[in-house]
Structure formats: structure tokens, C-alpha cells
Amino acid sequence: MILGFRMRWAIGLVMALFMVGCTAGVTKPSASDGAVAESQESATEVVAPPSSSAPEGFAQLEGTATVELVVNGERIVVEVDGSQAPLTAGNFVDLVQRGVYDGTVFHRVVREPQPFVVQGGDPQSTDPAVPVQRLGTGGFVDPDTQQKRVIPLEITPAGADQPIYSQTFEMAGQTAKPALQHTHGALAMARSQFPDSASSQFYFALADLPFLDGSYAVFGYVTEGLDVVDAIQQGDVLESAVVVEGLDNLATE
């Protein structure tokens, strides 16, 4: 009975992931729907062809970097892994360095019926005038181009030399496990049902979530302050995010 309940719970969460953003109009994020997707204002997006080579024009992290976050006055230290997720890790480090995450709100926290995720990183959440129902629909808008930055889905199979881009493992027919998996404390990118739609929103895994492996891009892990992550409540503010080591590994175009 317990196994059956967990299986139904996992299937429900995955279904919710692909329901968010699949209809036109703003989808209101909910703390109970289980989605780690980034809500979209429109279902019209260009899906890039699958690729095994890194797309050009994106920041990349060559190696690792250490980022310190402060939430409720407490430290969270994460190690971001550019060796397995160079583009995704590079995007995150670049946004941290730009100060994009300072003052953002954790707009979605899902702990029931079982621990799932803490999600934040929507730049809109720094503006108190933005309605709560819009949180979860935003991403980073590049001040140089005035366009929203989106990055390709990037997941490296265990033992592989290169990540798979722009497709889930299921789409690619990949049977290996990812090199970076959804264990408790994993840091990953939120997206809509379109593989190449992640921008700035990220989430922490509040438990081992193997059913997300191969579908969402993990790019780091909490190394200190996992208890702080586990205690985050919806509406808590990410007071600051700072790269404390490894910034010299960031290569920007």
C-alpha cells in the first residue's frame, strides 16, 4: 500500500510538471500542485533540435564554484558543478554575480504529502507590486538585449563525456542514470514543459526524487546548511547570493 501510494504521488507530481504552462495565459503557481516547472505566459515557444554539443553564446563554468546564500540570516553553501553541467552552472553563477537573486522570494514550497521542493529565483518577486499569482512566471531579462534569457536543457549521462542538450533522457532513448541526480539537497533548474525554457528559477530537492532524474537539470548540491533549506517557508526571502570561490572558472561570451 505504501509503495502504491508513493508511486501514485510521484506520477501525480510528474503530470503536474507538464501541465504547468501548457495552456495560454498565466498559470498560477501553487504550493500544492507539486510542479517544479517555471510557469509560462504563453505556450508558444521554439523547441531547439536535440544536440550533443554545447550551444554557443552562453556563459559556461569550467570546473566548480562555491556559492553562499543567506536565508533568514542563515548560511546555505552550494557547490555548483560545471564539469557535468557547464552551461547550466555557468548561467547560475553569472546570475549570482549580477545580483539577480538578491531579495528574491521562495514562491513555492511543497512538503505535503511528502517533501518535494523549495523553488525560487523569479526576479519579479523582488517587486512588492507584482501580484503573488504572477510569481513563478518570470525569468532573467538581459539588460543589453531586453530579451528573456532561456537556456537549453542540459543533462550528462553517468560516464559520458558530453551532456545531452535540448531533450530529456526519455526523448533521447537514454537508459543511463544522470551523472548529477536528484538526491536530498540537489540544486536544479525549473522549466516549463518545453525542454529549452529554463531561465533563472531554481529549486532545491527536499528529499531523494529519482523520478525527476533525466528530465530536469541538476547542477549542484548543498554542502552546508541543508537544515536551513529544509526549514524554508513559502514567502521567505533569499537575502543575498555571493560567489565565494571559483568565479575565475566562469567563461562568458
Output the pLDDT for position 53: 62
**210 within domain boundaries:** yes
pLDDT value, residue 45: 45
Amino acid identity of residue 251, one-letter, is A
Q: How far is C-alpha 199 from the chain's CA centre?
A: 8
Is 47 domain-assigned?
no
Q: Are 33 and 20 a contacting pair, CB within 8 Å?
A: yes
Residue 236 domain-assigned? yes
On whether residue 186 sits in a domain, the answer given is: yes
Measure Cα distances from 152 to 57, 88, 229 in Å: 11, 8, 26
In a domain, 242, yes or no: yes
Give residue-wise pLDDT tens across range 158-211. Answer: 999 999 999 999 999 999 999 999 999 999 999 999 999 999 999 999 999 999
CATH number at residue 205: 2.40.100.10
Q: Which of 24-38, 77-91, 161-175, 181-195 has the lowest mean pLDDT?
A: 24-38
**Identity of residue 91:** N
Per-residue pLDDT tens digits for 92-124: 999 999 999 999 999 999 999 999 999 999 999
Structurally, the chain folds into a number of domains equal to: 1
User: Is residue 228 in some structural domain?
Assistant: yes
Percentage above 90 pLDDT, the chain: 76
Higher pLDDT, 27 or 207: 207
- Average pLDDT over all residues of the chain: 85
Residue 253 lies in a domain: no
Domain that holds residue 86: 2-41+54-247
How much is the pTM?
0.84
Q: Does residue 80 register a pLDDT over 80?
A: yes
Residue 190 bridge partners (DSSP): none
- Residue 121 falls inside a structural domain: yes
